[in-house]
Structure formats: structure tokens, C-alpha cells
Copies of this chain bind each other. A is one copy, B any other.
Amino acid sequence: MPRRPQHRQASRSDKLAGAEIHSEVMTRLRRVHQRYTAQRREIIGVLANFSHPLTIQEIREHSIDLAQSSVYRNLLVLEEFNIVTRVVTNGEIGRYELAEDITGHHHHLICSQCGVVRDVVVPPALELDIDQALSALTGREGFTLEHHRLDVFGRCAECT
């Protein structure tokens, strides 16, 4: 399964990189009796090459021989087992990225004009404050806290 060369984009604080990601994903899929097929490797490979969530269109554009239905079906499986995450940003088109326990916890900076998404990390102290406050809040509301999502909206330099 050929992997076309791709320049890696601005890397976040990668917890895992390159080959490590594949073996990690392989392990996880094995654990749940799922196969790590060529198409799944391809999808993971593409997602690993970018430091921001991709649309299904984009995933297909950056790979070859990926049937549309396979991409949809595989992303569903990969999401089910917490290997990728579906993130919703501006419009309603779904975007996917590797799970945070692979790439590290981060948030999204979204241009409200053109929709471009950039991964960002906020100070650990703030994350702590947020988690504390939300923990109290969910308790009060009878919810079991799972995780939070902090999206930042603004205009990117190009869209002034």
C-alpha cells in the first residue's frame, strides 16, 4: 500500500510519532479483535501527517485507492475504539483527528471566516482550573464528567 510522501506539518507535542503510531493502533485494534487493514493504515497515516483535524474529503485527497464507503466505515470503527476522534468545528462537515491519548490533549483555534482549524495547547494551569471547575459542575448536575472541549473562534491572519 504505497504511501505518498507528505511534508509533516507543524508538529504539536507529539506523544507518539511515525511507526510508533502504527504499532500502537495495531495493538489497540488487536485488543478488540479488529483488523489493521491496509486501508486503515492508510487513513491513520494520513491523519498522523497533519496536526489538525481533516475532513473525509481531505483524507481521501491525501491518499490513493480509498473507497468512500470504506473511509466512512473505518472512521466509525476507529472512533468507536477511541483511536480517532470526530471533531465538529464550524459548519457541519465532520473532521477527524487521532485521539488525544495519541497526540496529546489540545484544543482548536477556528477561523470563523474561512473555517481553517489549528491545534493549540493552553497552559497546564488553565487546564487544571477548568477540570476542577467542571468536575464540581458536573457533580452538581448529576453528570459523570468525561472530558471537555474548548474551541476558540477568531479571524485568522488571512481573513483579517
Contact = CB atoms under 8 A, between A and B. Distances in A.
Interface of A: 88-89, 92, 94, 109, 111-112, 118, 120, 122-123, 126, 129-130, 133-134, 137-138, 141-157, 160
Given A109-B137, A141-B109, A151 B154 contact: no
Contacts of A154: 138, 143-146
Given A137-B152, A150-B150, 17 more contacts: A88-B89, A88-B92, A92-B94, A109-B137, A109-B141, A109-B143, A120-B141, A126-B130, A130-B130, A143-B152, A143-B157, A144-B154, A144-B160, A145-B152, A145-B154, A148-B150, A149-B153
Contacts of A112: 146
Contacts of A126: 129-130, 133
Contact of A109 (B92, B120, B138, B151): B138
Contacts of A144: 154-155, 160
A122 B118 contact: no
Contacts of A109: 137-138, 141, 143
Could you say which of A88, A92, A152 has the most chain B C-beta atoms within 10 Å of its C-beta? Answer: A152
Give the one of A94, A118, A153 with max B CB within 10 A. A153
A142 B130 contact: no
